[in-house]
């Protein structure tokens, strides 16, 4: 890559980082703002929970939509359209006094947020090619950064104006500002195969894709299950509510910090080793939770670190082992959205049926299934390499 091309790639990459902060802030607003939205619509907390289902369904539709659009249109036009739709939805949310209207808007936010997510991931892969894993890890750190910043923005808005609406409007303004650099920068194109690589590339393996999709679904399901249920689990075993609520914050802090740590790590060791290291830490964290080897805050910190690098490393590995077009990326985010809906829904009935003692084995089982998926994937890749060799 020439020096001017490398500079263009860096500027484009930094724009994607800024876009990920935006979608992290947009996605992170729903939880802290939920009591205010319930009061605004006159809904109970049980009724307002439908917003999470609406966002998840929007994510699933957006996963398929973004894949088709990025393959057919200039990628930056797709990102600009979805950022504009996201900004429009954020502006309109505080004016939606009816729960039905608010639910429809949150569905559209889910479509737009995941479309920017999947689209920027695909375009970043096209920009950096085989060298993408550290950049993908940095990209997902920016998403976590947005999630961490937005509660502070909401607190500041309430302190300065007494109105939660300003948090939504400021995030919308930030998203709109990103349209300017995206409009000025050319969209990356899907890289053409290098001369001579067509003959050396193994035949497409659909089972390889299936294993990747299963692992993405299991990972996101485990992440959402821990983040969504650790507070309830801690409360049920007698932890004071204030201390229990802190656990999810500790989880997100080390998840974000771990993605920063993965950037230099992925430059020194293979993605396979990073994934094995993360899964090993996951086993230690779940066993420590089950047997009480560590206090709950330490478990939350350790499980966040264990979870941190899995998604971006898997994504970078997929780019090395498969052709990553918009359709494939869309399927990955569809699998992630399905895992986010299906796996956490097991925790509630399981805790009710078997008690709090079932939560650590559930997490251990999820780590075990991810490990089995990684072993099968590694064997599949080696078998393909042996046949090709």
Task: Report the CATH number at residue 16.
Answer: 1.20.1250.20
115 with 209, same domain? no
Is 191 inside a domain boundary? no
Range of the domain at 80: 3-184
Is 194 inside a domain boundary? no
Domain end marker among 154, 184, 214? 184
42 with 102, same domain? yes
160 with 210, same domain? no
What is the tens place of the pLDDT at every residue in 265-275? 888 899 999 99
CA angle 192, 18, 167 (to 5 degrees): 145
Is 55 inside a domain boundary? yes
> For residue 122, which of 335, 272, 316 has the smallest C-alpha distance?
316
318 with 235, same domain? yes
296 with 345, same domain? yes
For tokens 């983040």, the residue is 227
Is 102 inside a domain boundary? yes
Q: What is the mean pLDDT of residues 116-128?
A: 90
Mark residue 278 as left, alpha or beta (left: phi above 0; alpha: psi -120 to 50; beta: remaining). Answer: alpha
Q: What is the mean pLDDT of residues 63-84?
A: 90
Domain end marker among 119, 150, 184? 184
Q: Is the pLDDT of residue 345 over 80?
A: no
CA angle 377, 381, 383 (to 5 degrees): 115
Provide the CB-side half-sphere exposure for 94 (13 A, CA): 15
The whole-angstrom separation of Cα 337 and Cα 314 is: 16
Q: Which residues contact 156 (CB under 8 A, 6 or more apart)?
A: none
226 with 84, same domain? no
Q: Which residues contact 153 (CB under 8 A, 6 or more apart)?
A: 25, 167, 170, 171
The whole-angstrom separation of Cα 328 and Cα 130 is: 17
Long-range contacts of 77-80 (CB under 8 A, 24+ apart): 77/187, 78/115, 78/119, 79/19, 79/116, 79/119, 79/120, 79/123, 79/182, 80/179, 80/182, 80/183
Q: Is the pLDDT of residue 31 over 80?
A: no
Is 193 inside a domain boundary? no
Length in residues, the chain: 389
Is 192 inside a domain boundary? no
180 with 208, same domain? no
The whole-angstrom separation of Cα 76 and Cα 288 is: 45
Q: What is the mean pLDDT of residues 223-227?
A: 86
261 with 367, same domain? yes
Q: Is the pLDDT of residue 198 over 50?
A: no
Most confident of 16-30, 54-68, 73-87, 309-323: 73-87
Query: For residue 45, what pLDDT band results from cuts at 50, 70 and 90?
Result: low
Q: Torsion over CA of 168, 172, 173 and 178, rounded to 10 degrees? A: 150
The pLDDT score that the predictor gives to residue 199 is 44
Is 313 inside a domain boundary? yes
What mean pLDDT, rounded, does the chain reach? 87
178 with 210, same domain? no
Task: Name the domain count of the chain.
Answer: 2
381 with 306, same domain? yes
The whole-angstrom separation of Cα 64 and Cα 118 is: 9
The pLDDT score that the predictor gives to residue 140 is 85
27 with 119, same domain? yes
Query: For residue 200, what pLDDT band results from cuts at 50, 70 and 90?
Result: very low
Task: Specify the pTM.
Answer: 0.79
CA angle 179, 95, 120 (to 5 degrees): 25
The pLDDT score that the predictor gives to residue 111 is 93
Q: Is the pLDDT of residue 194 over 60?
A: no
Cα-flanking dihedrals φ and ψ of residue 186, to 5°?
A: -70, 145
Query: Which spans in the chain are helix H?
Result: 3-41, 45-48, 50-72, 75-92, 99-128, 133-161, 165-177, 179-184, 197-200, 206-236, 241-265, 271-291, 296-308, 310-321, 326-342, 344-354, 359-388
For tokens 């889910």, the residue is 110
Query: Among residues of the chain, what percentage have pLDDT more than 90?
Result: 42
277 with 322, same domain? yes
39 close to 150: Cβ distance less than 8 angstroms: no
Query: For residue 204, what pLDDT band results from cuts at 50, 70 and 90?
Result: low
Is 208 inside a domain boundary? yes
């Amino acid at each position: 890559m020439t020096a001017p091309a490398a500079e263009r790639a860096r500027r484009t990459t930094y724009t994607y980082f800024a876009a990920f902060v935006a979608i992290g802030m947009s996605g992170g607003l729903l939880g802290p703002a939920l009591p205010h939205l319930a009061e605004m619509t006159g809904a109970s907390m049980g009724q307002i929970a439908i917003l999470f289902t609406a966002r998840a369904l929007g994510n699933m539709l957006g996963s398929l939509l973004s894949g088709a659009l990025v393959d057919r249109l200039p990628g930056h036009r797709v990102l600009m359209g979805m950022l504009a739709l996201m900004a429009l939805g954020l502006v309109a949310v505080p004016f939606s006094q009816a729960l039905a209207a608010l639910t429809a808007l949150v569905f559209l936010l889910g479509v737009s947020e995941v479309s920017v997510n999947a689209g920027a991931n695909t375009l970043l892969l096209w920009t950096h090619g085989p060298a993408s894993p550290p950049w993908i890890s940095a990209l997902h750190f920016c998403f976590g950064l947005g999630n961490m910043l937005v509660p502070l923005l909401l607190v500041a808005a309430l302190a300065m104006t007494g109105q939660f609406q300003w948090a939504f409007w400021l995030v919308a303004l930030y998203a709109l500002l990103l349209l300017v650099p995206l409009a000025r920068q050319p969209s990356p194109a899907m890289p053409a195969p290098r001369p001579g690589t067509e003959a050396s590339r193994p035949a497409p393996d659909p089972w390889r894709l299936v294993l990747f999709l299963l692992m993405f679904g299991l990972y996101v399901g485990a992440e959402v299950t821990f983040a969504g249920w650790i507070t309830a689990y801690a409360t049920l075993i007698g932890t004071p509510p204030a201390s229990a609520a802190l656990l999810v914050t500790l989880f997100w802090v080390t998840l974000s910090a771990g993605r920063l740590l993965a950037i230099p790590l992925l430059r020194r060791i293979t993605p396979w080793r990073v994934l094995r290291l993360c899964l090993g830490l996951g086993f230690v964290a779940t066993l420590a939770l089950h047997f009480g080897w560590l206090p709950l805050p330490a478990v939350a910190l350790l499980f966040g670190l264990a979870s941190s690098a899995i998604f971006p490393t898997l994504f970078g590995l997929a780019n090395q082992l498969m052709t990553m077009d918009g359709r494939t990326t869309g399927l990955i985010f569809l699998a992630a959205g399905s895992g986010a809906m299906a796996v956490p829904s097991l925790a509630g009935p399981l805790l009710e049926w078997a008690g709090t003692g079932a939560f650590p084995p559930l997490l251990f089982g999820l780590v075990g299934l991810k490990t089995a998926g990684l072993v099968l994937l590694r064997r599949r890749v080696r078998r393909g390499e042996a046949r090709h060799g």
